């Protein structure tokens, strides 16, 4: 049934995502802080009722726009460069967009969370020992920012030898009460400082465990499960989200909050007089993937031209090697005809909402529609929507309302990249049966190429394009989805280093049983590690840049998290995970070592040392390439280059970050986890020796 069709040109300065996923009313419901009911407050409930929407605003006069937001009852997070992060009343969005000072308003996007053997594998232990270097490097005097699900600051891996926690500050974005961070203009959440952390009065918990695991990889001081930078200080941000345990899909966290989190880490590091690297083991696939979104610009502005500051992100876990399912990306040119690419909803999410982010090339002339089949497409579809032309917004339903959709094609030329942007939302009724028995077509007519990404992207198999290709079934030809362009945002940003993952452990023992990391060979790329290129390599550069150990990685287990016995180590304080989320902190820890040697290094400097020092073997092949970037992380080689390299910047802790409007940055008064599951010290030392021999041998062959 078709509910509406016709031209409905939207405001040219507004991201159509604000309307198409979800609709205005539904977006209001989803834009609130997502925290367990026990942690909510009356103040939060009153704010939620106000219908505040998280957005980025690009402005010619950011301070004027910040005041405009407040005058409409909104709040401001940070102002960085031309970007303002804000929460604005849904009913005031168009009025704010009318301001001549506003260039564009982008909706915040939902983000998903993305070491005994691995540490010596990459030469990190040799760097700690100072082999061939002027000294040993452990990350002392450097901040590693962990923006994640939280952190267990009581874990012994994150403490000094005297028992004091190396976690200096924690900002819980989703908890109300207590002290709010002064670094954020219209602050929210709750902050723990060094005093509350040392006294144990900080009530932050990491019930998911992802953040603590990531922190351990970067900075664990455990003798067996040693991190890359075991003496680094840590500033942690628990982003505003919670895990949906039923589906395994993380509820929405907003991209504005991630940029504010990175800003906070850099500001705290400046107060501490330290350089900082921020680790982002998270990502989203809603966006143009070309480095031009306001989310990407916001992050890039934090490191551009700054010494002693760097950003690292997980490349993503969305590559598909399945013969029947190609993954989350599709691209083709209908060449004046009508063609389609087929996709399947394989997993039911808790909210039953799915989305296609469609970006037509500049100068393209495309119309877009949907169709639905009972099973694989074998002829005419069960039902088909009208085609939404440029400027149209249509809505309708299939199967008597069991499947509802909206196709918003009103952003005919994005002010960010000149592309035709279409947002397509699909909603399943609560009584609709398993959708995997059906399939859908993304139908495209006209001329010009496009890129389309499916969402949700976690788990990666939730919704995927299929390999149906070449056949004319019904009245249009099929083009299969492809296996490219699955690097997640913000790893696509030119100001962020994207890290892919490879396997360093494929077998382990737990509870007297032997387990296998299925489908992986030692040293091979993780079979789900996302692939480049981006939608615009000329703007973003090579993505990914580097590949680091990503599976199976043993690291710190949060005392508040529950994990399967099959991934738990013998000491009960560590567990194993796999993903590019695990690979990213290896690189973050390495950059901390570089900053320890020379805080005047910029993001471009450290990226160059990582790339030039990368190791290439038979798995990597010719470089750079879309799976491995420039090769495998080699900490020792990269550090040798850094020690002999020249810095292009000048670090100034107090001048390194501009204070938000009305604030001043003051001086505060105020260290890869992988190890053999058995946890034996002797085995750890043996691996160090073997790694040293291996590194020497491979350099001799080079």
Torsion of CA 585, 121, 550, 605, to 10 degrees: 40
The structure's pTM equals 0.85
Give the separation between CA 313 and CA 489, rounded to whole angstroms: 9
Digit-coded pLDDT (tens) for 462-472? 999 999 998 77
User: What number of other Cβ atoms are within 10 A of residue 199's Cβ?
Assistant: 9
For residue 693, pLDDT over 60 is answered with no
Inform me whether the pLDDT recorded for 541 exceeds 80. Answer: yes
In this prediction, residues 506-510 reach a mean pLDDT of: 73
Q: Compute, in degrees rounded to 10, the torsion defined by CA atoms 462, 467, 470, 472.
A: -50
Left (φ > 0), alpha (ψ -120 to 50) or beta: where does 272 sit?
alpha
113, 285 contact by CB (below 8 A): no
Residue 639: pLDDT band with limits 50, 70, 90: very high
Say how far apart CA 559 and CA 150 lie, in whole Å. 12
Residue 1 confidence (pLDDT) above 60: no
Q: pLDDT-based confidence at 563, cuts 50/70/90?
A: confident
Burial-class residue 697 by CB neighbours within 10 Å (0-12, 13-18, 19+): exposed
Strand, coil or helix: 383: strand
Average pLDDT, the chain: 84
- Given a cut of 70, whether residue 330 has pLDDT beyond it is yes
Count other Cβ atoms within 10 Å, centred on residue 69.
27
- Strand ranges in 256-402 using DSSP code E only, listed in sequence order: 276-280, 282-283, 309-314, 325-327, 329-332, 338-345, 353-360, 365-374, 383-384, 393-398
Residue of higher predicted confidence among 644 and 433: 644
Q: Is the pLDDT of residue 176 over 90?
A: no
Nearest-5° Cα angle at 325, 319 to 331: 75
The pLDDT tens digits of the residues spanning 571-581 come to: 889 988 889 99
**According to DSSP H, which parts of 304-451 are helical?**
none
Q: What is the pLDDT of residue 696?
A: 44
Q: What is the pLDDT of residues 20-49, one digit of tens each?
A: 544 344 433 333 222 322 333 333 333 343
Q: How far apart (Å, rounded) are the C-alpha atoms in residues 62 and 392?
A: 32
Give the per-residue pLDDT at 558.
Answer: 93
Separation in Å, CA 598 to CA 592, 647, 657: 10, 8, 18
**What stretch of H or E contains 305?**
none
Residues 583-595: what's their mean pLDDT?
97
The domains located in the chain, with CATH, are: 32-107 (3.30.70), 118-238+250-303+491-644 (3.40.50.200), 329-478 (2.60.120.1290)
Evaluate if residue 494 carries a pLDDT over 70: yes
The stretch 661-687 carries a mean pLDDT of: 30
Quote the percentage of the chain above a pLDDT of 90. Answer: 64
What is residue 652's predicted lDDT score, i.e. its pLDDT? 86
Whether the per-residue pLDDT at 689 is higher than 60: the answer is no
Q: Within a 10 A sphere around the Cβ of 430, how many other Cβ atoms?
A: 7
Average pLDDT over residues 403-408: 95
390 pLDDT above the threshold of 60: yes
| Predicted confidence (pLDDT) per residue in 123-170, tens digit | 787 888 888 889 999 999 999 999 999 999 999 999 998 999 999 999
Instruction: Place 514 in a pLDDT band, splitting at 50, 70 and 90.
Output: low
pLDDT in the model for residue 95: 92
pLDDT in tens, 376-385: 998 889 999 9
* Residue predicted with more confidence, 567 or 360: 360
What DSSP state is assigned to residue 197? H
Structure tokens at 560: 């508040």
Three-state SS for 539-583 is HHCCCCCEEEEEECEEEECCCCCCCCHHHECCCCCEEEECCHHHH
pLDDT tens-place string over residues 617-627 = 999 999 999 99
Segment holding 419, helix H or strand E: none
Q: Which is more confident, 432 or 627?
A: 627
Which SS3 state, helix, strand or coil, does residue 124 take?
A: helix
């Amino acid at each position: 049934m078709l509910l509406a069709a016709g031209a409905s040109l939207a405001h040219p300065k507004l991201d159509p995502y604000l309307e198409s996923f979800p609709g205005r009313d539904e977006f209001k419901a989803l834009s609130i802080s997502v925290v367990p009911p026990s942690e909510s407050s009356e103040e939060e409930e009153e704010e939620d009722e106000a219908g505040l929407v998280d957005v980025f605003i690009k402005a010619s006069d950011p301070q004027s726009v910040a005041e405009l937001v407040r005058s409409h009852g909104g709040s401001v997070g940070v102002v960085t460069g031309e970007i303002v992060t804000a929460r604005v009343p849904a009913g005031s969005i168009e009025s704010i967009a009318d301001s001549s000072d506003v260039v564009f308003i982008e909706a915040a996007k939902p983000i998903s969370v993305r070491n005994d053997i691995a540490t010596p594998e990459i030469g990190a232990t040799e760097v700690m020992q100072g082999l061939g270097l002027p000294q040993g490097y452990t990350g002392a005097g450097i901040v590693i920012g962990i923006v994640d699900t939280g952190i267990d600051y009581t874990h012994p891996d994150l403490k000094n030898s005297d028992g004091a926690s190396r976690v200096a500050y924690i900002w819980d974005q989703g908890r109300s009460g207590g002290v709010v961070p002064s670094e954020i203009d219209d602050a929210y959440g709750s902050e723990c400082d060094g005093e509350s952390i040392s006294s144990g009065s900080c009530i932050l918990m990491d019930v998911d465990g992802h953040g603590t695991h990531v922190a351990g990889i970067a900075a664990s001081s455990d003798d067996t499960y040693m991190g890359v930078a075991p003496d680094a200080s840590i500033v942690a941000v628990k982003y505003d989200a919670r895990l949906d345990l039923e589906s395994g899909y993380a509820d929405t966290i907003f991209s504005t909050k991630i940029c504010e989190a990175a800003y906070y880490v850099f500001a705290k590091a400046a107060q501490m007089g330290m350089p900082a690297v921020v680790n982002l083991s998270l990502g989203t696939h809603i966006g143009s993937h070309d480095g031009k979104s306001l989310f990407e610009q916001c992050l890039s502005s934090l490191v551009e031209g700054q010494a002693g500051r760097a950003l690292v992100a997980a490349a993503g876990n969305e590559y598909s090697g399945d013969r029947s399912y190609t993954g989350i990306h599709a691209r083709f040119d209908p060449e004046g005809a009508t063609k389609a690419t087929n996709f399947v909803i394989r997993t039911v999410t808790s909210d039953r909402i799915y989305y296609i982010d469609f970006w037509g090339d500049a100068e393209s002339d495309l119309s877009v529609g949907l169709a639905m089949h009972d099973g694989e497409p074998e002829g005419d579809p069960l039902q088909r929507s009208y085609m939404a032309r440029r400027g149209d917004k249509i809505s309708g339903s299939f199967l008597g309302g069991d499947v509802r959709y909206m196709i918003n094609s009103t952003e005919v030329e994005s002010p960010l990249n000149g592309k035709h942007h279409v947002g397509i939302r699909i909603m399943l009724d609560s009584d609709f049966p398993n959708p995997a028995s059906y399939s859908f077509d993304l139908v495209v007519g006209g001329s010009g190429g496009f890129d389309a990404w499916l969402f949700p992207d976690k788990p990666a198999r939730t919704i995927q394009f299929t390999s149906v290709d070449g056949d004319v079934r019904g009245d249009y030809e099929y083009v299969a989805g492809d296996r490219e362009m699955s690097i997640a945002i913000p790893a696509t940003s030119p100001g962020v280093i994207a890290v892919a993952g490879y396997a360093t452990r494929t077998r382990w023992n737990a509870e007297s049983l032997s387990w296998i990391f299925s489908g992986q060979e030692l040293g091979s790329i993780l079979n789900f590690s996302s692939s480049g290129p981006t939608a615009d390599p000329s703007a973003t550069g090579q993505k990914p840049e580097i590949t680091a150990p990503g599976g199976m990685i043993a690291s710190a287990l949060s005392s508040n998290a529950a994990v399967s016995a099959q991934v738990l180590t013998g000491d009960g304080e560590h567990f194993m995970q796999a993903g590019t989320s695990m690979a990213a902190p290896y690189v973050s820890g390495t950059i901390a070592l570089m900053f320890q040697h020379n805080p005047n290094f910029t993001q471009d400097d450290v990226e160059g040392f990582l790339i030039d020092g990368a190791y290439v073997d038979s798995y990597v092949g010719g470089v750079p390439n879309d799976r491995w970037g420039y090769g495998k992380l080699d900490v020792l080689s990269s550090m040798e280059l850094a020690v002999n390299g020249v810095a292009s910047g000048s670090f100034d802790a107090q001048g390194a970050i501009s204070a938000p409007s009305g604030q001043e940055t003051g001086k505060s008064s105020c260290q890869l986890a992988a190890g053999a599951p058995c946890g034996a010290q002797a085995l750890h030392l043996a691996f160090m020796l073997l790694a040293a021999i291996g590194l020497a041998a491979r350099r001799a062959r080079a």
